[in-house]
Structure 1
Amino acid sequence: MAIDTEQTVTVFGGSGFLGRYVVRELAKRGHRIRVACRRPDLAYHLQITGNMGQVMPIQANLRFPWSIERAVEGADHVVNLVGVLAETGRQTFDALQSSGARAVAEAARAAGAGMTQMSAIGANAGAPSAYARTKGEGEQAVLGAVPDARILRPSIVFGAEDQFFNRFAEMSRFAPFLPLIGGGATRFQPVYVNDVAQAVAMCVDGKVPGGTVYELGGPEILTFRQMMEKMLAVVQRKRRFLNLSFGAAERLASMMRLVPGAPLTTDQVEQLKSDNVVSDLAIAEGRTLAAFGIQPQLLEAVLPTYLVRYRPQGQFTQPDPQASGPANREEAA
């Protein structure tokens, strides 16, 4: 299969956590990149990931189709990474992950461009979670407009700027306990951000078949509790676990719904009721990282590279097995 190594690629959401890694991977491959985002001034730092003029931030908002069309005009490939974990103001699940994804796909079709859509494991147009439902609707809209599009569904993504391990590591500095919603039994398959970025770049290069939904997971399946234990071991802190039933977590999230930047929403509690791992069908059909020839990174190999700052004395904290890891005591609510 012939590969064009000098394509013009528009990346929506390129200034975000995953986006900066995707832009870097595309720049390494010689592509010209338009970083389409609401605040181009917050994406200027990405220009140094490529040669002069190779990376260009451009203003676009998925709620305004005309801005999408302008950003896509003349592009060879479109990557849509836009998504939110919680709704804020007009940045709703529907506006970004359903209607927004449809608008991007329609613009890509009009421009004659290929497309890669970032989704999530659990995406399903019939899901009870609004996040999962709109991700599923977005997938359907993209494949309807661009049948040979590539859909990527990662499990929880970790890396230096992630909002998961960093959030709980920061919490461990001050909180006497860490919450385990539903007892912390929900299973995840954490995948390294750079592995996902490489998969995106390979989609742009046409190295995997289109019209396919790929599920991306790391080399191990861990429960929520196990991930917390690994995080605590890295930051060398002991913390108690507070078991919260789903009902108690939903009531707590409901009370916090009017708090700006609330750490928990009822929709997130709903998501935690289902495991977030690569399906047996995807494994059987070869629709995983194996299709890209990517050997996924282990959590233990990456967490210490960025969570060390949460240790009691930062990088200067001396290893002490007796002082690290979670406490055995648990409390229930």
Structure 2
Amino acid sequence: MTKLVTIFGGSGFVGRYIARRLAKDGWRIRVACRTPNEAMFVRTYGAVGQVEPVFCNIRDDDSVRAVTKGANAVVNCVGVLAESGKNTFKAVQAEAPGRIARIASEEGVAQMLHISAIGADAEADSDYARTKATGEAAVLEYMPNAVILRPSIVFGPEDDFFNRFAGMSRMGPVLPVVGADTKFQPVFVDDVAAAVVASLGDSSARGVYELGGPDVATFRELMQTMLTVVQRNRIVANIPFFVARAMAAGFGLAKTLSLGLFTPPLTTDQVRNLAVDNVVADDARGFADLGLTPRSMVSVLPDYLWRFRPSGQYAEIKNSAKNLK
């Protein structure tokens, strides 16, 4: 009989790639999300009826239990980069993983995989990093054999990182960044999905794996790589942390005064995160332990950032024409 997996957040950026990979691997899939009507696209990932979006509120026990019953495995990839309304770091990243793990244990689910993040640390200055660590601990309390994947910054066609800064590069000669010297190890979203499939297919896999791509680079170097891909000459200007903190505080005040209608482009917690390197630890298990080799940025970025080039899809044709002159 085909095994059933419930993917919490399966219609999100990372979740949809996990759903697609698991569908190809033969799993039946419940994509648990807040708005199933907006997640109908996941049905195309498998045969008729193989992938189904279902409603779930991860803050509610009964809702989580309803989509967990009968599952052989659960995958949690819900997370937030900034708090909004009831979706706080505490609710989404600390309490929800524990709730899912507890109910999965009570329902006899055999496997659990939890997507966390590099930098999860109970002693961190950042609320984001601390709640990630709290969520990991809660998962292991109820599902001690669970697999926890900690990716560095995740990139891919739908990302909010390279797409965001590539869009900003259209606006002027200067590209501002916070933490230009902070190091990252970007990982391709489909490689993270491959790690999920490999983990669920290996009965010996358990514990924490840190996932980073083959490239370690500073924020400034990442932006320079992106600018090369989009064929734009821009000055990458570092915003000092004390200035960034003041800016974030101002944005936070604007959000409060607007009763939440204003979405801050930068938060105080994000500034704290940007002060800490985000790379795989030397002694951490990773892709190699799962039998996988991650792809490089330069092999992927041109596939989706071409639209930010001055000539868009015609850039390569124009470059070829110049060579003929």
Q: What TM-score does the superposition give when structure 1 sets the normalisation length?
A: 0.91
Aligned to 2:160: 163
- Displacement, 1:243? 1.9
AA aligned to 2:295 is Q
- Cα distance in 2 for residues equivalent to 1:175 and 1:81: 36
- Cα distance in 2 for residues equivalent to 1:97 and 1:218: 24
Asked if residue 65 in structure 1 is aligned to residue 61 in structure 2, the reply is yes
Deviations 1:45-102 (A, max 9, x none): 0101000100011100111111001010110100000000000111100000001111
Secondary structure at the residue paired with 1:300?
Answer: coil
- Displacement, 1:242? 2.2
Secondary structure at the residue paired with 2:283?
Answer: helix
Aligned to 2:323: none
Aligned to 1:240: 235
Aligned to 1:147: 144
AA aligned to 1:209 is A
Aligned to 1:79: 75
Match of 2:13 among 7, 10, 17: 17
Deviations 1:108-144 (A, max 9, x none): 1111111000000000122110000000000000000
- Cα distance in 1 for residues equivalent to 2:37 and 2:91: 23
Asked if residue 307 in structure 1 is aligned to residue 302 in structure 2, the reply is no
Asked if residue 226 in structure 1 is aligned to residue 221 in structure 2, the reply is yes
- Cα distance in 2 for residues equivalent to 1:306 and 1:280: 31
- Cα distance in 1 for residues equivalent to 2:67 and 2:186: 32
Structure 2 unaligned spans of 5+: 256-261, 320-325
Alignment of 1:119-198 (within 5 A): 119-182=116-179, 184-198=180-194
Secondary structure at the residue paired with 1:152?
Answer: strand
**Contact 1:208–1:291 (8 Å) recurs in 2:** no
Match of 1:253 among 229, 243, 248: 248
- Displacement, 1:267? 0.5
Secondary structure at the residue paired with 1:302?
Answer: coil
- Cα distance in 2 for residues equivalent to 1:173 and 1:107: 47
AA aligned to 1:271 is N
- Displacement, 1:208? 4.6
Asked if residue 90 in structure 1 is aligned to residue 92 in structure 2, the reply is no
AA aligned to 2:294 is P
- Cα distance in 2 for residues equivalent to 1:30 and 1:244: 48
- Displacement, 1:6? 2.4
AA aligned to 1:162 is D
**Contact 2:187–2:212 (8 Å) recurs in 1:** yes
Alignment of 1:199-218 (within 5 A): 199-206=195-202, 208-210=204-206, 212-218=207-213
**Contact 2:223–2:236 (8 Å) recurs in 1:** no
Q: What TM-score does the superposition give when structure 2 sets the normalisation length?
A: 0.93
Aligned to 1:326: none
**Contact 2:224–2:236 (8 Å) recurs in 1:** no
- Cα distance in 2 for residues equivalent to 1:175 and 1:23: 38
- Cα distance in 1 for residues equivalent to 2:280 and 2:11: 27
Aligned to 1:41: 37
Deviations 1:244-292 (A, max 9, x none): 111110111111123422221111110011100000111xxxx110011
Aligned to 2:279: 277
The alignment-based identity, stated in percent, is: 51
- Displacement, 1:207? 5.1
Aligned to 1:323: none
- Cα distance in 1 for residues equivalent to 2:54 and 2:123: 34
Structure 1 unaligned spans of 5+: 321-333
**Contact 1:208–1:292 (8 Å) recurs in 2:** no
- Cα distance in 2 for residues equivalent to 1:175 and 1:216: 34
- Cα distance in 2 for residues equivalent to 1:7 and 1:214: 24
Aligned to 2:25: 29
**Contact 1:207–1:292 (8 Å) recurs in 2:** no
Deviations 1:146-172 (A, max 9, x none): 000000000011100000000000111
Worse-matched range after superposition: 235-244 or 154-163: 235-244
AA aligned to 1:221 is V
